[in-house]
Chain A
Amino acid sequence: MEKKKKRLVLRTVILAVLALAIGYTVYGTATKEKVELVAVGSEAPDFTLVDLNGEKHKLSDYKGQGVFLNFWGTWCKPCEKEMPAMDNQYQEFKDHGVQTLAVNIAQTDFEVQNFVDRYGLSFPVVIDKTKSVMTAYNVGQLPATVLIDPEGKVAKIITGEMTEKDIASYMELVKPNKE
């Protein structure tokens, strides 16, 4: 009887492990296609890029502040549309500890400068010439916005166009010392 019991347990364990393996495979394949940006709640990958004025911006330097990180390109219509709103909100929040950083994806200085001048953008615009920050954040579609809280953690990820109201609420989200 003892032997029989042992055998039953062994069989149950083997079958359970195999069932789990198959389940994991099916689940893994089903979720594989979804390309995710950095995970919410994880440490935002640090980076350093140079803006149009030659100034270096290092993400970790903004620890203690919220960061509104926007990936964009001049050819991307929704990016273009949300820029003026972003600039307004940048003015609103920059003295309340929320920094805005716009990361252009590997375009020429001329095009980016031209664009910035046209819209009179006041927040820092950096160019990711080698696409390494884009790679680190796994950015696929533009525009993509990553909200980073004062602790340097990813608070929220937004892909697609935002209204000015959205932008304001997102910046509010990562504002330090909320009363």
Chain B
Amino acid sequence: MEKIICACGHSNPYGTKLCEKCGRPLTEEEKQNKVVDMRYDGMAIRSKTYNKSFVDKIWNFFSSVKVGISLIIITLIAASVGTLLPQEFYVKASDMEKGAYYADVYGTFGKIYYTLGLSDLYSSWWFQILVGMLAVSIIVASLDRGIPLYKSLKNQRVKRHESFMKRQRIVAEGQVSASAEETLDKVAQKMTEMKYSVRRDGSALLAEKGRFSRYGPYINHVGLIIFLGGVMLRLVPGFYVDESIWVREGETRAITGMEGYFIENRDFILETHDNTPQGEQVKQGVNVVAKNFQTDITLYKQPEDALPGDTENLEKVKDYSIRVNHPLKEDGFALYQMDYRLNELKQMNFELINKTTEKSLGKVEIDLTNPKKEYDLGNGSSVQILVYTPDFDGFENGEPQTKTSIPNNPAFLFKMTTPETPEGEVSFVEIMQPPLEPLGENKYRMKFASAEMRDMSGITVRKDSTIPILFVGGVIFMIGVAIGSYWNHRRLWLQVEPDGRVLMAAHVNKNMFSMKKDLDAVTTFAALPPYKDQLEKDEAGEESTTGGIKEKEGDNTL
């Protein structure tokens, strides 16, 4: 690729728009522009320089800002499509029934939505590739622009060619009465006062302020990449744990995903606001607003050498009340209060009574978490449990069946022995149902007296070792964005000829408004010729015809 030799003798890389040394415009296009394109200070965008091999072509594709913006827009549109219907993870249906759920609830549209995989859009391969391509674009485009820009700004010369100066947006030209030295001194003094750093080279002067703000975009891109990298790391085994467990009051169980730890649910507490419902609450039929969901737990840990299943020597780690917004944190894990279920049967109390006299022979208290084989009532009566099914589901071959291990619908096959019936009578008792007496009419029956309930807490177990990385990424991003947005890069070039002719130019990457305040100050102080804003003049001319300021068409760096 040929080098471009500038009139000043400097040899510039191919693609350079403004001579690296003196700033003369090098391309025809730049020569015709009234105001030069200062985006990357006229440096050659690297992608432009090599475009031969396949790798270069891919590289150049991702280096293009146009491609980057297109990727942003496509991601944006794709993301919005995913909000049309609730995503699968918010749908309360099992994996098998999800397709049917979408079809039932949302009709044909739901069916298509599900079939196209839009109901799980954010974990689809194409969405991930899209975000991945965006990341590639950020990296490649930043490398291609950031590095040349850094070099260019670092090696800035004080003295620039007149054609460079005159093509800046702000230009001033004219005679001053003071001597060259005096003018330069005065400008230097005022600019230093305004916290510019001033460099001088003979009769030329460059005052510069806030150069670091030019690096803001690149810093925030670094932050974004760190963030995305962190998100990716979550897939590496060991970095991320996401489990949920149910723990009943009084129960101690191993914590899934958190090896060696056990949780005991001592108490689940549900508090409600004691307000009188009004307005919208009444309209929506909401009577009470929950105030607090809390599980009082004790966290235990096995001794180092203990095996799973060995729960004899659990060491208490701490007591804690897990509440919403107040997770329990331990050993890189966090336990969250996520869900609850109230009133699961824990104990059922019966009375053994004589059917005719209704006389009670005593109370049988059955702890459903640990039913006993036999309950002795004294006075020669006893009750035996022959069969206990926590979730009775009908008979099969004469055997009562249970649907689950949860006491949703407990049923018992009792054998009742009394002095009157020493042989014993058999009765099948199901909750809320009249007893069945398979071996003929009984004299006694088990009368349901009362029940005790317990609650259940749904706890989410979460470990996310990528959080520090994400946090660092987020902080770097914010620093970059703030630098890029709240500061700006201001430069002022000044050249004074011995005969008192002054040429001044100024550039600011944004916020010309406050730059002009600086310019006004220095112009007055050093009695410089008045400056003009070349774009403003443009606009005035154009206003009557098209009404807008000139819109730059296309990105000629692509």
Contact = CB atoms under 8 A, between A and B. Distances in A.
Query: A and B touching (C-beta < 8 Å)?
Result: yes
A129 interface: yes
Contacts of B129: 22, 26
A29 B235 contact: yes
Given A75-B404, A105-B405, A110-B370, A130 B55 contact: no
B405 A45 contact: no
A52 interface: no
B58 interface: yes
B136 A18 contact: yes
A153 B113 CA distance: 45
A109 interface: yes
Contacts of A105: 405
A114 B399 CA distance: 12
A106 B405 contact: yes
Interface in B52-94: 53, 55-56, 58-59
B482 interface: no
B307 A130 contact: no
Contacts of B368: 108
A136 B135 CA distance: 38
A131 B402 CA distance: 20
A98 B128 CA distance: 48
Interface string B112-131: 00000000000101001100
Contacts of A15: 55, 58-59, 136, 140
Name the residue in A47, A107, A110, A126 with the highest tally of chain B Cβ atoms < 10 Å from its Cβ. A110
Contacts of B404: 75
Given A28-B235, A74-B402, A130 B132 contact: no
Interface stretch (A3-11, A63-71, A160-168): A3-11
A118 B139 CA distance: 68
A106 B253 contact: yes
A110 B373 contact: yes
A4 B50 contact: yes
A11 B55 contact: yes
Nearest to B235: A28
Interface in A125-145: 126, 128-136
A18 B232 CA distance: 12
Contact of B308 (A14, A21, A133): A133
A149 B61 CA distance: 55
Contacts of A22: 128-129, 132-133, 135-136
B262 A130 contact: yes
B55 A30 contact: no
A73 B405 contact: yes
Interface in B245-269: 252-257, 259, 262
A18 B229 CA distance: 10
B59 A135 contact: no
B39 interface: no
B387 A8 contact: no
Contacts of A110: 370-373, 385, 388
Nearest to B135: A18
Contacts of A126: 309
B148 to A, nearest CB: 13
Contacts of B441: none
B309 A21 contact: no
A53 B229 CA distance: 54
A30 B127 CA distance: 12
A48 B253 CA distance: 15
A133 B306 CA distance: 12
B132 A8 contact: no
Contacts of A132: 253-254, 262, 308-309, 311
A36 B387 CA distance: 35
A178 interface: no
Contacts of B256: 131, 135
A157 interface: no
Nearest to B125: A26
B370 A75 contact: no
B264 to A, nearest CB: 10
Contacts of B133: 22
B310 interface: yes
B318 interface: no
Nearest to A134: B254
B402 A75 contact: yes
A45 B260 CA distance: 12
B298 to A, nearest CB: 13
A26 B311 contact: no
Contact of B128 (A29, A45, A130): A29
Name the residue in A21, A22, A109 with the highest tally of chain B Cβ atoms < 10 Å from its Cβ. A22
Given A75-B402, A75-B404, A130 B253 contact: yes
Contacts of B58: 15
Contacts of A21: 132, 229, 232
B403 interface: yes
Interface string B488-500: 0000000000000
A29 B123 contact: yes
Contacts of A130: 252-254, 262, 309, 311
B391 interface: yes
25 contacts: A14-B143, A15-B55, A15-B58, A18-B135, A21-B132, A21-B229, A22-B136, A26-B125, A26-B128, A45-B308, A47-B307, A48-B310, A74-B402, A75-B405, A105-B405, A106-B253, A109-B370, A110-B373, A110-B388, A111-B405, A114-B387, A135-B254, A135-B308, A136-B254, A136-B308
Task: Give 8 nearest A-B pairs by CB, closest first.
Answer: A28-B235, A132-B254, A22-B132, A136-B308, A47-B308, A49-B309, A47-B309, A110-B371
Given A75-B403, A135-B259, 11 more contacts: A8-B55, A18-B136, A18-B139, A26-B128, A28-B236, A29-B123, A58-B307, A73-B405, A107-B405, A114-B387, A132-B311
